[in-house]
Chains A and B, each alone.
Chain A
C-alpha cells in the first residue's frame, strides 16, 4: 500500500509539476509583459491570426 500511495502521489505530482513548469515558461513572460505594457497589447491585436499553424521561423 505504501508503494501504491507513493506512486499515485508521484503521478499527480508529475502532472502538476509539468503543468506549472510549462505555464511559467510559455505564459508567464507574455502575460506579465502584456499587463505592464498596454501598447503592446494594442499592437498585438493588429497582427494577423496564426492559431499556431502558420509557418514559424526555422532554426538554421
Chain B
C-alpha cells in the first residue's frame, strides 16, 4: 500500500513537471475555462434579453393608432426603433437584420373599428432568430389583444358598467403563470448552468486523451509503466490525479460563481452541486480513458471522438431542444453523454431541490461511467509494452 502511494506521488510529480513545460496545458486547463466563465456570464448578464429592436408600419396614422404605438413602446422587450412608410420597407429592414419584427396597421383601421367592420392588425416576427422572434411575438400579440379589448371596454363603459364589471366580461379567465424557481425567465440561469459544465466536460475529455496520448507520442510510456510498478491502474491514476484536482477546483469555482455571486437558484445547497461536479469530472475522465483504451495507440482518433462526443453532448443533453421530442434512437443514445445526466441531476437538485432518488437512473448512469476504464485496462497493459505512436 505504502509502495503504491509512493509510486503515485512519483507519477504525480512527473506529471506536474510535464505541465510546467507546456503552455498549452495552462491554456486549456485554466485560461480557457475561466475565459468561458467570464464570457458567458457577462454575455447574459441581463438575464432576459430586453429592448429588442422592432419596427412599425402605420398606414392609418390616427390618434387611436398612436395609442397602440405608445403601448408597444412601453413594453419591456420591445424597442420601437423605426417607422416605415410601407410593408416592403419594413421587410427589407428585417432582411438587413435591423429589426426582429414589426407591427402593421392598415389604412382605415380606426374607421373600420368604430364602424364595427372588424379590421385586421398584423404583426410579423423574424423566427429565423428564434429567441428574439419569440420574445417579440409575446409583446406584439399582447398589444393586439389590448387594442381589441380596449375597444369593447369603451362600449361597456358607455353602457354604464364599472371597471370591475367590464373586466369580468372582457377577460373572464386570467392565466396566472408561475415559472417555478426561475420566476424572471432568466436565460443566464437556464443556459449557463449547462453550457459551462458542458464546455468543462469537453475540455476534461480532451485533456485526458491528450495527456495519456502524449506518453506514446513522446515514447515515454515504458518509463511511466516502470514507475507505476507495472500496473496500468496506478499509472493512469497517478497521471490523471493532478487534472482531477484541477478540474474539480474549476467546477467548485463555477459553482461558487453561479450560486454565491450570481445568485442562481440553488435549492439543494451548494455542497451537493460541488459533489455532482466532482463526479462529473471523474466521469468525463473515465470516458476519456475508455475512448483512448478502445482505440489504443491512436491518440488522434480518440481526440476526434472526444471532440465529437463533447460537442454533440450540447445537443443531446436536451436542455435546449428536449430529448423526448427527438427520434427514439437518439433518445437511447443520449444515455451515453455525461452532460445529459448532469443536466437531469442539476434540474432535480439545484433548480427544483427534490430528493435525488427521483433521478436515480441518471445518478447510477453517471457512476457507471466511472467503471468504464475497467473494461479497457487489459488493452492498456498490452499497449504499454507493445504499441508505438502512429501519426
Asked whether A and B interact, the reply is: no
- Using a CB–CB cutoff of 8 Å, the interface residues on chain A facing chain B are none
